[in-house]
Amino acid sequence: MTSRPIESSMDERRRFPPPETFRARAVVTDERVYEEAGREPEAFWERAAGDLHWFRRWDQVLDWNLPDARWFVGGRTNMAFNCLDRHLTTARRNKAAILWEGEPGETRVLTYWDLAREVNRCANALLSMGVRRGDRVAIYMPMIPELPIAMLACARIGAVHAVVFGGFSAEALRDRINDAQAKMVITADGGYRKGTIIPLKRNVDQAIADVPTVRHVLVVRRIGEAAAIHMVEGRDRWWHRALDGMRMDSPAEEMDSEELLYILYTSGTTGKPKGIVHTTGGYMVGTYLTTKWIFDLREDDLFWCTADIGWVTGHSYVAYGPLLNGASILMYEGAPDWPERDRFWELVEKYGVTVFYTAPTAIRTFIRWGADWPARHDLSTLRLLGTVGEPINPEAWMWYRKHIGGDRCPIVDTWWQTETGMILITPLPGITTLKPGSATVPFPGIEAHVVDEHGAQVPPNAGGYLVLRRPWPAMLRGIYGDPARFRREYWERIPGVYFTGDGARRDEDGHFWLLGRVDDVINVAGHRIGTMEVESALVAHPKVAEAAVVGMQHEIKGQALAAFVTLKEGVDSGGDVTDELRAHVTQKIGAIARPDRIMFAAELPKTRSGKIMRRLLRDIAEGRLLGDTTTLADLSVIQGLRERYEEDVQD
Ligand code: ATP
Ligand code: MG
């Protein structure tokens, strides 16, 4: 990318300041936090750390020796102690920590006291099976309370968890278990997804068939007989048996701030997944403060982050961040369209959810299904909405605001990564004036910039690379087992700064607009075009639900655009919809951004975390062999597209 302005006339002029009623009760309303934290970031993070429990206070807030950062140096603490024990001596002791609903409809409520008891019992069971401080434990589970219980139990005894999303195959699981050299796997006999049973335990059997490091498998009974599993003598143990008779207290290990808390593999949107390493003290402080400030958490809130705990969003904002704050969370096991397409809205109504956090891919799906589904439910308890995972198209943002937020809830569009551990670019809902499609500004104490390939800051509205100039507490400490890749991918692309891999521009107010991956900004006849903006133009058309735009080689223009489009339900792709969409993009952005090819698809290829996989669409558009497909949610979608694309080209 160069510093020339991106062709952009996506005139997004809508502005939403915090509503007075919201602001009046918000957790943070004083804009001076930005200036204060900017001036003295270490003192800022130190104040946040002071809210939490430490066995030993740190000697130094930050030791920064690029690329290695150490936070709260010399401090000793325990994540599980802070998520649980700290609340047990307060009025939160009998407050609901987790309100859980299974896909088939059963419910469970765990208070902080209940949760602490189960975590302690599980911690003792792990110890009895030989798991020790520093050992890695792979967790491969459905969204049931035993999943955060297992994570917290690991944290309590100082074991390092590596959660693998329950939708991954046996093969993907094996790669991750091997990479992490896990000593134990915690799983369930199965899980429910749209009424069918996911054979988790059987996948584990296959995955560890020839993995020598794994000594034990601990199995939660979720399904029962129907799962038809086989327990291997000496290796496998039932969770309920292993925990039975275990003591309800286990000492929390006094962990050094920089001891490993967990390893988590990225989504694989741009390539092969990496095992991102997070440590204890800084991650704890970062997730604690961002949860409190960004989601404006109050004692009486019910927070629902719809992410699976298998992704970083679930680690930081289903489990750790909310529990550190003593909040009540809703946890749901299943799919949004089971048994009907209003399950989420039914749950919001049933439990009285107040803060709701989801992903653009989900919002675009809801748009495709139509506004009648949410309209059937009373969503008036909602007071704040959030989004994460991909750039959100302004029209999807507006739909979310109107149909879910009743035109009254602020929306926090939060930018961050598995690597950053915590949200870094985001509004603060009591302060920031929102612009649909913009993640707005860096969190206090965070220094983000948009630069060219030499690291020089680009002028306002010019596209460039998003980089971070200063360490933040929850930043990754490395890629597990691959320090060279850590340096190469994040610290050597532009020396001296953290390279995010995302493209962005910053507008005249200093607000950030994420443009997608750096590879998603292309050059058509000498003009830089962010494919994200073309997608947003397409999504703004009333017939379009979702769009993915990629660049392909073109003899004359250098690169040209190919668009893959999903129409709203009931809309026919026949007639002249193609011409209509081309004309629409021309009008919104300019002829230069008009896609050369438009292909309609019932579904777009996505990662298992729901992100559009543009790199595979690029492979199709350029007639190449497909790259790594192991993290695809559904391989048949991309295969179908490829066949149709090739037939089309021959016509
Ligand atoms: P991999 O790194 O393996 O290719 P991934 O980048 O999809 O996978 P994650 O760490 O889950 O793995 O996702 C982080 C990325 O998601 C960010 O780099 C960014 O591209 C995108 N993202 C997250 N939140 C936002 C947001 N609010 N706006 C725009 N993009 C976002
Ligand atoms: Mg990434």
Neighbours of 39 (CB within 10 A): 10
Taking CA atoms, 467 is separated from 122, 424, 459, in Å, by 41, 11, 15
Distance CA 404, CA 401 (A): 6
The average pLDDT across 301-309 equals: 98
Q: Give the pLDDT band (50/70/90) at residue 6.
A: very low
Best residue among 416, 432, 609 to mutate for probing ligand 1, ranked by most atoms within 8 Å of CB: 416
Cα three-residue angle 336-422-288, rounded to 5 degrees: 95
pLDDT over threshold 80, residue 391: yes
Q: Give the pLDDT band (50/70/90) at residue 624.
A: confident
What pLDDT score does 524 carry? 80
What pLDDT score does 631 carry? 84
> Closest ligand 1 atom, CA of 311?
11
The average pLDDT across 229-251 equals: 97
Neighbours of 622 (CB within 10 A): 13
Instruction: Give residue 421 CA to ligand 1 midpoint distance, Å.
Output: 12
Q: What is the pLDDT of residues 490-534, one digit of tens each?
A: 999 999 999 999 999 999 999 999 998 988 778 787 777 888 889
Phi, psi for 530 (deg, rounded to 5): -85, 120
What pLDDT score does 651 carry? 58
pLDDT over threshold 60, residue 203: yes
Distance CA 474, CA 281 (A): 8
Q: Which of 281-290, 304-313, 337-346, 633-642 has the lowest mean pLDDT?
A: 633-642
Instruction: Give residue 502 CA to ligand 1 midpoint distance, Å.
Output: 8
Task: Spell out which residues line ligand 1, taking CB within 6 angstroms.
Answer: 266-271, 273, 311-312, 388-391, 413-418, 439, 500-502, 514, 517, 609, 611
> Closest ligand 1 atom, CA of 392?
28
pLDDT over threshold 80, residue 401: yes
What pLDDT score does 183 carry? 98
> Closest ligand 1 atom, CA of 272?
3
Beta-carbon contacts of 278 under 8 Å, excluding residues fewer than 6 positions away, are: 260, 261, 262, 263, 264, 421, 474, 476, 477
> Closest ligand 1 atom, CA of 270?
4
> Closest ligand 1 atom, CA of 439?
27
Residues 133, 138, 142, 144, Cα dihedral to 10°: -10
Kindly identify the ligand whose nearest atom is closest to the C-alpha of 270: 1
Kindly identify the ligand whose nearest atom is closest to the C-alpha of 268: 1
What pLDDT score does 10 carry? 52
Distance CA 145, CA 184 (A): 19
Q: Give the pLDDT band (50/70/90) at residue 465.
A: very high
pLDDT over threshold 80, residue 603: yes
What pLDDT score does 549 carry? 95
Neighbours of 188 (CB within 10 A): 25
What pLDDT score does 108 carry? 98
Distance CA 244, CA 152 (A): 18
> Closest ligand 1 atom, CA of 276?
10
Best residue among 385, 390, 531 to mutate for probing ligand 1, ranked by most atoms within 8 Å of CB: 390
What pLDDT score does 575 carry? 79
Percent of the chain with pLDDT over 70: 98
Q: When comparing pLDDT for 580 and 609, which is higher?
A: 580
Distance CA 25, CA 46 (A): 25
> Closest ligand 1 atom, CA of 267?
8
The average pLDDT across 592-619 equals: 92
Prior bond of 339 cis (ω within 30°): yes
Instruction: Give residue 417 CA to ligand 2 midpoint distance, Å.
Output: 6
Instruction: Give residue 376 CA to ligand 2 midpoint distance, Å.
Output: 37
The average pLDDT across 210-234 equals: 96
Range from 29-38, 454-463, 534-543 that averages highest in pLDDT: 29-38
pLDDT over threshold 80, residue 487: yes
What pLDDT score does 285 carry? 99
Q: What is the pLDDT of residues 145-177, one digit of tens each?
A: 999 999 999 999 999 999 999 999 999 999 999
Distance CA 326, CA 92 (A): 7
> Closest ligand 1 atom, CA of 312?
11
Residue pointed to by tokens 């140096």:
73
Instruction: Give residue 141 CA to ligand 2 midpoint distance, Å.
Output: 23
Kindly identify the ligand whose nearest atom is closest to the C-alpha of 516: 1
Kindly identify the ligand whose nearest atom is closest to the C-alpha of 276: 1
Q: Which of 134-138, 172-176, 240-244, 476-480 has the lowest mean pLDDT?
A: 172-176
Kindly identify the ligand whose nearest atom is closest to the C-alpha of 316: 1
What pLDDT score does 7 carry? 41
Cα three-residue angle 268-197-202, rounded to 5 degrees: 70
What burial class does residue 196 get, using C-beta atoms within 10 Å of its C-beta: 0-12 exposed, 13-18 middle, 19+ buried?
exposed
The average pLDDT across 99-108 equals: 98
Q: Which SS3 state, helix, strand or coil, does residue 395 take?
A: helix
Q: Under a CB-based contact definition with an 8 Å cutoff, are residues 562 and 550 in contact?
A: yes
Q: When comparing pLDDT for 1 and 531, which is higher?
A: 531
pLDDT over threshold 60, residue 5: no
Q: Give the pLDDT band (50/70/90) at residue 574.
A: confident
Cα three-residue angle 257-46-28, rounded to 5 degrees: 125
Amino acid (1-letter code) at residue 389: G
What pLDDT score does 477 carry? 98
Beta-carbon contacts of 402 under 8 Å, excluding residues fewer than 6 positions away, are: none
Name the residue among 617, 430, 599, 609 with its Cα closest to residue 24: 430
What pLDDT score does 11 carry? 60
Q: Under a CB-based contact definition with an 8 Å cutoff, are residues 103 and 192 in contact?
A: yes
Q: What is the pLDDT of residues 319-374, one digit of tens each?
A: 999 999 999 999 999 999 999 999 999 999 999 999 999 999 999 999 999 999 99
Kindly identify the ligand whose nearest atom is closest to the C-alpha of 466: 1
Q: What is the pLDDT of residues 273-293, one digit of tens each?
A: 899 999 999 999 999 999 999
Percent of the chain with pLDDT over 90: 84
What pLDDT score does 137 carry? 98
Neighbours of 179 (CB within 10 A): 20
Which residue has the least CA distance to atom 30 on ligand 1?
A: 390
Distance CA 44, CA 472 (A): 11
Taking CA atoms, 317 is separated from 412, 566, 628, in Å, by 14, 30, 29
H/E segment holding residue 312? helix 312-314
pLDDT over threshold 50, residue 634: yes
Instruction: Give residue 271 CA to ligand 2 midpoint distance, Å.
Output: 9
The average pLDDT across 482-491 equals: 95
The average pLDDT across 575-581 equals: 92
H/E segment holding residue 127? helix 112-128
Please, what is the average pLDDT of the chain?
A: 94
Instruction: Give residue 388 CA to ligand 1 midpoint distance, Å.
Output: 8
Which residue has the least CA distance to atom 29 on ligand 1?
A: 391
